[in-house]
Each structure stands twice: as structure tokens, then as C-alpha cells.
Chain A
Amino acid sequence: RHAAATPHSLAGALEQGKPQTPLPDGSSRTGLKRLESQTQPLGKYDLQGIGELAVNPLGDRIINAFFKEGEDLTDFRSFIRVLAHFRPVEEGKSNETGRPEPMNSRLRKLQFAFQLYDQDSDGKISRDEMLQVLRLMVGIQVTDEQLVCIAERTIQEADQDGDGAISFEEFSVEKLNVEQRMSLRLLK
């Protein structure tokens, strides 16, 4: 049973009872290399054990984004593929149509964000999904009626073809400065 898979987290920090320092410190290239050499899979429990994620409104969704549907383990390659979305975009690179879309292009980043909203993966953000996201991101002082209002306005603002949902094109039209906001300096 995967549930009984011991938390042999490759962030063995959790075992030792003390989370490790974050990578952006300029001195742990070796960390990533070591990660690569590990053959043990990474479990969802390990990620859920990270304290900071528990106080991040979108924490759980992001954790789930690293794992395939319904599974609780992932290996290094898949993990890095997801992480690759967050590489800063290199300037000056022209978009050659011949090559496959790189993982960290603006499009990919937008797609990653979009799928966080679009839980049922139908290619659209419906009113309910928007409502769910809003509920996650807003304090409890906001009542549900207000939230419904906000959700509707948000969808109205973005919806161009009038189907009451936000499709990916409508989403990517927004001037969202995604290249900067979804880039980890570390991964350059």
C-alpha cells in the first residue's frame, strides 16, 4: 500500500525533525544533484508536511499539481518537469515554431496556473471553480454572497464569448506579467 510507504522523504529533514533551509542561498547546487541520485520516490505526505504550505491558500492545490491524478508518489523526473515551469524566461529567445514549446515559456506558465483553477480539466474555469478559488484566497470575513458577487464580476470581466466561463484564451489575454511572477530565480 502506498499509504504505508514510510515517509522516506528525500527531504530527510522531516525525519530529523527540522526543515532544511531554502535553496535560494547560493550554496546548494549539490542539493539538487543529490536529489537526482535518489531513487526513492517523493510522496505527497512529504510535501504536505511542509509547514509553510499549510498556510498557503493554494498550498494543497499546488501539491497536487506535482502528482498525477490519484497518486501519491512521484519520481524525480516528473517532479523536475513541474518545477521547470518556474524557470525564468530567457530574454531575447525567439519563438521558433519548429521546436517544442519549452516548459518555462509564458504559455506553459499560464497553462500551469490555469490548471490550478480548472480542477475538472474541462478547459474552462466555471463559476463554481472560480468560486472555489476565491473562497480559498479570501478571508473568512467575506460572506458567501459577496463571494458569489465577486466571482460573477470576475468572470464577466474576462468572459468574451459569453459562455459564463473563462477559457484558456480569455485567461491568457489578461496582462498578467506571468513571466516575472512565476519565476524562481534559483532555477536560472
Chain B
Amino acid sequence: MSLEMRQVPLAEGLLVLPAARAQEKSSGDHTAGSGPYVFQIVSFKWDHVQEPYIIALWILVASLAKIVFHLSHKVTRVVPESALLIVLGLFLGGIVWAADHIASFTLTPNVFFFYLLPPIVLDAGYFMPNKLFFGNLGTILLYAVIGTVWNAATTGMSLYGVYLSGIMGQLDIGLLDFLLFGSLIAAVDPVAVLAVFEEVHVNEVLFIIVFGESLLNDAVTVVLYNVFDSFVAMGADNVTGVDCVKGIVSFFVVSLGGTFVGIVFAFLLSLVTRFTKHVRIIEPGFVFVISYLSYLTAEMLSLSAILAITFCGVCCQKYVKANICDQSSTTVRYTMKMLASGSETIIFMFLGISAVNPDIWTWNTAFILLTLVFISVYRVIGVVIQTWVLNHYRVVQLEIIDQVVMSYGGLRGAVAFALVALLDEKKVKEKNLFVSTTIIVVFFTVIFQGLTIKPLVQWLKVKKSEHREPKLNEKLHGRAFDHILSAVEDISGQIGHNYLRDKWSNFDRKILSKVLMRRSAQKSRDQILNIFHELNLKDAISYVAEGERRGSLAFIRSSSTDNMVNVDFSTPRPSTVEASVSCLLREKASSVCLDMQALEQRRKSIRDTEDTVTHHTLQQYLYKPRQEHIHLYSRHEIIQNEDEKQDKEIFHRTMRKRLESFKSTKLGINQPKKLNKSHKRDRGQKRRNSNAIPNGKIPSENPVPDFTLKEKGIDNPAFSADDDQSIYMKFPPWLTDEDSVVPSQRARVQLPYSPNNFRRLTPFRLSNKSVDSFLLADGPEERPRAFLPETTHM
């Protein structure tokens, strides 16, 4: 038989083979080892690969769908991606149903909770803006805990009340069932919320509150769900007061326990990454494995797994980023984003697919409609009341528009669906009704509310702004105001203090960082922040010391009127400003409408071509203020790199100017001309990666990988050329006044343009290992005074 098989041509053979194999298999089953085993060149082993193949196929389909959606920018601007995916899922589900008449693919709770949810939550935790988060923690906790309990209780009870009135018809439900349903439908969903909020740029406080709430309310949801689930299982009659008390206690245990597990694993993770210097390649693996273990451990101990993995991410951020090398850091970030984004896509698609399952559909108009009404209404009431209470304690108040966004942005998502799918039919008789209602609620919030929230926000914000095309002046000054505002914010932020934060800072610096961060990272972190100080202070000290060593230095300060602090205009002007001022909506939060204006302007025709060019140039090249270019969190993008260039340029310029201003203040202004030409070259070569430094929030992130000091060659001719010309204009005029400083004769001649000085300022040499650059910086930085003798022999 085998010989005959081999002689058959391959194509026919392929067609024949499955049948032959099937036959053979069945015959093999009956008579084990009875006939000779036939050798097959190729065979079609579908069963063998079925499971992983289908999984891979679905992932591929979801990803392809994303590509297709983003082909049309118009569509994605209006419709949130999550809505599109759900629709796609419905469509695909329809196809599967039509083909097979069984719902073979659904979002099973196990898959969801074990594989799809952890990456999303880990991503949220790892990229969480910590300062903002902990700064607003009180507010977040209030909304998460009290808000969720309020929503659950009121929704459950109202539904029960309505049921009692008979509108819903005959159902096999008790009060506890309603409360159970209320608890799982009440929670705002982290997956859905973020998917929508990414499109809508809101101010950072609002964002962090909603985002934080969606993450932290898991503890409450888990507790409530479990409590009511077991109550339902026990039967309504057997529930005693003790059980209720136990329920309340379990809330604290679950939430605090989950957090504790997360923190422990974060500690472990940071500790491990401290020692991975020689196994760089698998560094990223540790992050994922250990975080996942924290999730599973909490799940195992029936604690809140979401809280565990969130806090694992939140706490380990800083140390892991300091410890692992750059490439690993990039790998971790990209992988996390990829997993999170992919998970989210799959979740929404499967939500759609799972809905196409007529077996579970039970329609009860009253129930569904009332659920929708109740969750919206009670959320609004809850938000309003809590905000009113909170505003008494907060410095930064939450305004009406914030409350609107918070209430409207409370979306329900896949977590609710997974929880409802977990219900036991035997205990909860009306499970199908619950499932159907949940699906409808989720679809409604994600699609309808997701679609309309952006226009709503825009309408609210743009109400007061003007729509005519801004003039050059307005654009320029407007941008200047933005810069001024962010500068003042930063200043006031730096000056403020917080006792707890100080304590934590101290603790962190003295103990934690020593344990958890690599030694080299510790050193570099200190170094980065000292740079600023030392650049200015040590320079000043050294120059003054230098000058005084050389001879008399008479400082004659300019005696111009002090009009820096108190504006003092010589001629009083009558106030021509209109009295009524409307500032309901703060400009700060209005990055939404900037796109609109820019677009509008481009569309309108401008007659003067020079005007066009000017406008266009300004539009393109004006530096962006911080509010515009910092996005706090995005599941689908890694945000950092876009404005590095801008930061670098500005930083470079600023440092140069400060240096000049110091030198000119101390030692006279005639030197700059000579100085400029000679040190411009040096300066032009030094590019600084300002990524690390201005990111005062996490100073140890990315310890300055790009410092370079090239030798005398000109690195960037375009840049140095620019320097030479514009340096004269850039020189701060208030320092160029002739009578400001009178240097001594000797000092003027021997002004220490010394390569050493400048090298000291940028002692960072190119090195493959980012951290090592700071080890090199050790020598020169430590003894500034020791330099001075060197500089004299000019």
C-alpha cells in the first residue's frame, strides 16, 4: 500500500491524503498496530494546530482592522476606535453565526481576566504620572470607593423598587440579585475610559481623577461582587448581620492586601533589576514576569488583582527605569504598549462578537431602559455631591465643566461584561437577562457616549473663544503667554512644599534608592540635578574668585529704576479695559480647539502671499508650550520623542545665555565678542539631551545618554553659523549697558577663555553606556577651585 501511495503525484496526493489519513486514523483506532503505518510526505494537521492557529488569526484580524480604521483619519477623529471595533465584532460575529449557528467565539471570563486585562492595567500603572496621581490620591479614592458604592447601592435598590412595582413583569429575582447586578454595572471601566479620553484632551487634574478612579474602583467592585455573589449563593434568608460586617471588613482586606502584594512585587522587581547588569538581554522579561506574578498571586489569595498589578507598576517605575539600560527600557515600553493596545483591540472586538449569541438574549424593555437611566442619573448625582464636598478641601477647585466630563465619561466596559459572564446560572436565575442588559449598557456607553463626549467637551470649551483668524501679533503674543504661564506654574510648583512628600523624598533618597537602584544610577541622578546649580553657581564663584585674584574688580551695578518687580509706568494711563471679564473656561485646558483654529486658518484664503508665508512659518516653527506638548498618558503611543528637538534647542540656548550673562556681569562685556567666536565652536558642538534634565518629575529617567563633546571640529555648521550672527542680538540688553560693569584692565585682557572651563561645564563624554558618562564627570566636578590655577596660564 505504501508503494502505491508514493507514486501518486503530489497534488492529487494532497487531496487524497486527508481522507486517507482520516481513514487511517479511524482504522488505527479500532485495531491498534494492526496495519503498517503509511509514510506521508505532507499532511494536513488541522487539529494539531487548531487552538493556537485560531488565536493567532484573531489577533491578526484585530490588528488588520486597526490598520484599516486608521487609513481614514476623518473617521477616527470622530468615532472612537473602541466603537469601531465593537461594530466590527458584531459584523464578524454575524458571519460566524451565519456560518455555524453556534457562537463558537466569546469573550470568556478566564481569558479576559488572565490574559487580556493584566497587560492593560500594567501599562496603566507603569506609565502612570506618579506625582499627579499621589497628589490627587485623596480625591481619587473618594470617587473610587464612595462613588462606586453609591452607584451600586442606588442602582440596585432602585431597580428592586421598580421591580416591586411590577413594571418589569415576572422575574425570578430577589433583592440580592439586584444588588449583585448593581455592583457589577456600577464600576467605571479602565479600558473603556482611557480609550475615549485619549481623544479628548482634558486638563491633567481631571484626567488623573477619572483615570485613577477607573483603576482603583476595582477593589470595591471585587468586594461587592464577591459579597453579593456569596450572599446569593447562601440564600437571602441566611444572611446575617455578621455576614454584613464580614463583607465590610473584607473590603479593607482585599484592597489593602492587593496593594500590599503589588508593592512587595514592585520591591522584588526593582531589586532584581539592580543586578541584571550582565544579562541585559533578558531584562525586559523580568518586568513582565514579575508584574504578572503579582497579578496572579493576588488573584490566588482572592485579593484585588488589579490593584496589585497597578501598584506594582506604579511603585517600580522609577527604580526600574533607573536600573535597566536604555535599550531594555525602550523594549519594555514598546512591548507594554503593544500588549496593552493589542489587548484592548481584542477585547472590544470580542465584545462585539460575543453579543451575537441569540441563546443568551433576553429582552426586557423596562429593565434595560431603567438600568441605563439609573446609572447615568446616579452617577451625575454622585459626582456632584462628592465634588461639592471635595471642593471645600481642595486648593484647585473642580469646576462645572470638570463635573460634566466626569459624569459623562463614566463608561462601562469589558470588566462588567466579564463579571456578568462569570455568574452562575443556577444561583442567579436571570443570568441571561443580566448579560443582555450588560451588553446593551456597555455598547451604549462606549458607542454613544464615546461618540458624543468629544463634541460635548469642545462645545463647552469653545463657547467663549473667537473664531476669526488670529493675526500675527495675536499668535505670537498668545504663544508667549502660554510660555509665561507654564513658566510661572513651574516656578510656583517648585516653591510649594508638602510635608508628606518631603518625608517620602527623604526616605526614598536615603534608604530606598540605595537599596533598589544601581550605584551608578544613584550617582548620575544626583549629578543631573546638581548640574544646574553648579553650572551657575560654580561658574559665578570661579569667575569672581578669578577676577578678584587678578586685581581690583569694581562692580558698578546699573542704577536703573527697579521696574522689574513693580511695574512703574511713567505716564499713568487711564484704564481702557472693559470691566466685565469672563473667564469661565480656562484656556489651559483648551488644546482641543487649537486644531480647529489652525485648520480653519489654512482653509481661508489669505490674499497677501507674504502674509501666508509669515503665518505659515510662525505656525510651523513657533515653539510649543508645555501644555500642548505633554500628553500624560496614551495607550497607543510612546510620547516622548516628539519634542526632544525643541527641548534641546531651547536648552542649549538658555544655557549659553546664562553663561554669557554671568561672564558679562562679572567681567565686562567687551570680551563676549572675542569669546563668542572662539567658544561658539565649542558650544556648537555640545548637544545636550534635555530629556533627562527638565523632566524634573522623574530625574533618574534616561540618564542623559546623549552628551557629547566632540573635538575641535564643527559639529553642526548650520547651528554655529546661526550662533555667530545672532549672538549679538541675543545678548540681553540690560547687561550690555556700558556702565553696568567695569572690569579691571588685566581681567579684560586675560579673560579666561579656557577650554578647561568649558569642558568642566560639559564634562560628559560620549560613551556607550549612558550611566558611565557620569562616572567620567566625577573628576572635574568635584574640585572647581582646583581648576582656577589652570585657567590662569592663558
Residues of A within 8 A of B (CB): 1, 3-4, 7, 10-14, 16-32, 34-35, 42, 45-60, 62-70, 74, 78-79, 81-83, 86, 88-95, 97, 101, 105-108, 111-113, 115-117, 119-121, 123, 128-129, 131-144, 146, 149-150, 153-154, 157-158, 168-169, 171-172, 174-188
Q: Check if B505 sits within 8 Å of A139, measured CB to CB.
A: no
State the CA gap A144–B719 with chains docked (Å).
12
Q: Which residues of A contact B537 (CB under 8 A)?
A: 3, 7, 45
- Using a CB-CB cutoff of 8 Å, which residues 454-511 of chain B contact chain A? 465-466, 471-474, 476-499, 501-502, 505-506, 508-509
> Mind listing 30 A-B residue pairs with CB under 8 Å?
A1-B544, A3-B537, A7-B533, A13-B497, A21-B134, A22-B494, A25-B396, A26-B139, A27-B395, A28-B498, A30-B499, A51-B694, A52-B626, A53-B490, A54-B650, A55-B690, A58-B483, A59-B487, A59-B650, A60-B657, A62-B491, A88-B583, A116-B480, A137-B623, A138-B618, A139-B645, A171-B477, A176-B481, A185-B396, A186-B396
CB proximity of A58 to chain B, nearest CB, Å = 5
With contacts A53-B487, A57-B650, A65-B564 known, what are 8 further pairs, Cβ within 8 A?
A3-B544, A18-B509, A49-B536, A57-B623, A150-B614, A154-B476, A157-B472, A188-B397
In this complex, the member of B501, B693, B696 whose beta carbon has the largest number of chain A beta carbons within 10 angstroms is B696
A16 touches B657 (CB 8 A): no
State the Cβ distance, A26 to closest chain B Cβ, in Å: 4
Of all chain B residues, which has the CB nearest A21?
B131
Given contacts A55-B690, A115-B567, contact A26 B729 (CB under 8 A): no
Do B696 and A89 touch (CB < 8 A)?
Answer: no
Question: Are the CB atoms of A28 and B582 closer together than 8 Å?
Answer: no
What DSSP secondary structure best describes chain B's contact surface?
helix
Tally of B interface residues using CB under 8 Å: 124
| CA A88 to CA B134, docked complex, whole Å | 26
A19 touches B699 (CB 8 A): yes
Q: Are A50 and B492 in contact (CB under 8 A)?
A: no
State whether the Cβ of B641 lies closer than 8 Å to any Cβ in chain A: no
Taking the closest CB of chain A, its distance from the CB of B514, in whole angstroms, is: 13
A residues less than 8 Å from B746 (CB atoms): none
Chain B residue at minimal CB-CB distance from A178: B481
Residues of A within 8 A of B473 (CB): 154, 157-158, 174
Known: A35-B495, A50-B494. A132 touches B532 (CB 8 A): no
- Whole-angstrom distance between the alpha carbons of A133 and B541 in the complex? 30
A183 engages B583 (CB within 8 Å): yes
Instruction: Please measure, in the bound complex, the distance between the C-alpha atom of A176 and the C-alpha atom of B695, giving whole angstroms.
Output: 30
Minimum distance in angstroms from A135 CB to a CB of chain B: 6
CB-based contact B618/A168 at 8 Å: no
Q: Is B138 part of the binding interface, using a Cβ–Cβ cutoff of 8 Å?
A: yes
Contacts of A65 in B (CB 8 A): 564-565
- Inter-subunit contact A86/B485 (CB<8 Å): yes
Check: B579 CB closer than 8 A to any chain A CB: yes
With both chains docked as a complex, state the minimum distance between the C-beta of B143 and any C-beta of chain A, in angstroms.
Answer: 13
How far is it, in angstroms, between the C-alpha of A19 and the C-alpha of B655 when the chains are bound? 19
Residue of A58, A108, A177 touching B478 (CB-CB under 8 A): A177
Contact of A62 with B484 at beta-carbon distance under 8 Å, contacts A108-B567, A111-B567 already known: yes
B-chain residues with CB within 8 Å of residue A34 when the two chains form the complex: 497
A67 touches B565 (CB 8 A): yes
CA distance A54 to B654 in the complex (A): 6
Residue of A nearest to B466 (CB): A175
Tell me the smallest distance from the CB of A69 to a CB of chain B, in Å.
5
Residue of A nearest to B488 (CB): A86
Bound state CA distance, A57 and B485, in angstroms? 12
CB-contact partner of A18 in B610, B699, B725, under 8 A = B699
Residue contact A123 to B696, C-beta cutoff 8 Å: no
Beta-carbon nearest neighbor of A88 in chain B: B583
In Å, the complex CA distance between A96 and B563 comes to 25
Complex CA–CA separation, A115 to B557 (angstroms): 20
Q: Is the Cβ of A51 less than 8 Å from the Cβ of B696? A: yes
Assuming the contacts A52-B696, A168-B573, A181-B478, asked whether A22 and B563 have C-beta atoms less than 8 A apart, the reply is no
